[in-house]
Amino acid sequence: MFSGSSLNSRACFQLIIVLLSANVVWVFIAYFYHLNTIEGVVSSLRLLIGSVLVYFYSMRVEQNNLINFLLYLMAFNGMLIGLQVFEQVQGFSILPNLLKYGGLWGFAENHDYEVFKKGGIFPSTQSSSILSLLTASYIIYSRKKILLFLPIILGVFFGGRTTLILVFVLLGLVFMTYVGKLLVKRRAMRLAPTNLLLGFFYTYLSFILIAAWFDSGIGGHHLVRIKQAFSVVLSLDFSGGVSEGTAFGYFRLPSSGIETLIGNGVDRYHNLGGNDPFYSRWLLQSGIPSLFLLLLIFLICFFVERKRTPSFGFIVILLLIHGFKGEVITSTFFFETYLLYLFSKTSSANKRVI
C-alpha cells in the first residue's frame, strides 16, 4: 500500500489527521466516562490542531531550509548548554535568568538540581538531547556544516542520559542498513581516502576530549551517572533510584476490562497514572484504542520518512524506543517539527512518491 504509487504524501497526511481526530473522539469518550482530569483531552486536541496547522503550512517550507534552521538552532542551543554547565560547575552567575536552564519557562531554580543535565532553551533535556543527536547525525551523513558539530554534540553529551543509549541504537541501525545494502548490491564498499582520514581524525579528537573530561574530578561524576543509565539497560535491573530505571516502574497492565478499553482517566503523575513514558501514559489514561491509533499514526510516519527524507525511518524508530522512558515523540514543538520535516517540500532531485 505504501510502496506503490496510488498513495501520495498528502493522502498520508490526511489519513494522519483523520486518525488524530478519531483519537480526540475516543479520549473525549474516556473523559466523560471518568470525569477526572482533562489532560488527555488537551493533549489529543493539541496533536490534532498542531497537525492541521502543519498540513496547511508544510508545502510552503523547503525540507532543506528546515534542516538548516534546526542545525543552527541546535548549535546555538549546544553553546548555551555548555555555558550553563560551565556556570554551575564553576559556581558563577554570569548568565541572565532567561538563559539559565528553564529560565524561559519560569522554573530555572527548580531545574538546576543536576550539573550535567541541561536543555538550553528547551524545557526538557530529553527533547534537547534527541534533537541534538538527530542534527549531529545529519552533519555526519551529509558532511556539511562540520563546524556546527562540536556545539551540537554538547546537547547530547550534557542532555538526557537515555539519548546516549540511543546513540548506540542508531549506530546499530545504520550498520545493519548499510550491510544490507552491500549484500543486496553485491559490491565492495568505496570510501575516499580523504573521508577516511577525516573520519579517523574526528574520532581520535573526540576520544581525546571525552577521555580528558572523564579524567577530571568533575567529569568523573558525570561518567558515574552515565554508567548508571547503561547499567539499568544492560542488567535489566529497574529497581534502583536511577531515573532510567524508575521510569520502568510505571509500566503495568490495566487491572480491569474498563481500564483496558478507556483507561482510568487520572492525571499522568497520579499514583495510578502512566507518568512520563509514552506507552504507559496513553494506555492507562485513555485506553488501548488511543494508544493503538497513535502507534498506527507513527507507522504511517515511518513509511513517509523512509521515502521522503534522508533519515530512512530511523527517527521514528528511535523515538518509539525512547517512548519507554519519556514522551518526546508527542511533545509540543517536537511533534509538529517532525511532521513538518516529513511533509515539507523536497527538491526535485530527492523527491520520491509514496
pLDDT band at 231 (very low <50, low <70, confident <90, very high): low
Are 280 and 250 in contact, with CB atoms under 8 Å apart?
Answer: yes
Report how far residue 166's alpha carbon sits from residue 241's, in angstroms, rounded to the nearest whole number.
21
In percent, how much of the chain has pLDDT > 70? 71
Q: Is pLDDT at 36 greater than 50 in this prediction?
A: yes
Q: How many residues does the chain have?
A: 354
Q: Which pLDDT score is estimated for 179? A: 57
Nearest CA-CA partner of 148 in 158, 161, 139: 139
> How does pLDDT run across 56-87, given as a tens digit for each residue?
999 899 999 999 999 999 999 999 998 988 88
Q: Which pLDDT score is estimated for 335? A: 95
Q: What is the mean predicted confidence (pLDDT) over 237-250?
A: 52
Report how far residue 54's alpha carbon sits from residue 344's, in angstroms, rounded to the nearest whole number.
9
Q: Which pLDDT score is estimated for 351? A: 46
Q: Is pLDDT at 271 greater than 70 in this prediction?
A: yes
Least confident residue range of 23-32, 162-171, 219-228, 285-294: 219-228
Q: Which residue has the higher pLDDT, 178 or 309?
A: 309
Q: Is pLDDT at 325 greater than 90 in this prediction?
A: no
Residue 190's identity, in one-letter code, is R
Q: Which residue has the higher pLDDT, 285 or 186?
A: 285
Report how far residue 312's alpha carbon sits from residue 7's, in angstroms, rounded to the nearest whole number.
18
Look-up of cell digits 517512548: 323
Helices (H), the chain: 9-34, 39-57, 63-90, 125-142, 149-157, 161-185, 193-215, 217-235, 243-248, 257-262, 278-286, 288-308, 314-322, 334-343
Beta partners for residue 345, in sequence order: 62
Are 235 and 248 in contact, with CB atoms under 8 Å apart?
Answer: no
Are 318 and 36 in contact, with CB atoms under 8 Å apart?
Answer: no
Report how far residue 140's alpha carbon sits from residue 147's, in angstroms, rounded to the nearest whole number.
11
In the chain, where are the structural domains located?
1-60+250-354, 61-186
Least confident residue range of 19-28, 47-56, 202-211, 337-346: 202-211
Q: Which residue has the higher pLDDT, 344 or 179?
A: 344
Neighbours of 350 (CB within 10 A): 11
DSSP code at position 345 = B
Least confident residue range of 3-7, 202-206, 327-331: 3-7
Are 262 and 34 in contact, with CB atoms under 8 Å apart?
Answer: yes
Q: Which residue has the higher pLDDT, 330 or 240?
A: 330
Q: Which residue has the higher pLDDT, 247 or 114?
A: 114
Angstrom distances, CA of residue 196 to CA of 200, 203, 317, 333: 6, 11, 28, 37
pLDDT band at 164 (very low <50, low <70, confident <90, very high): confident
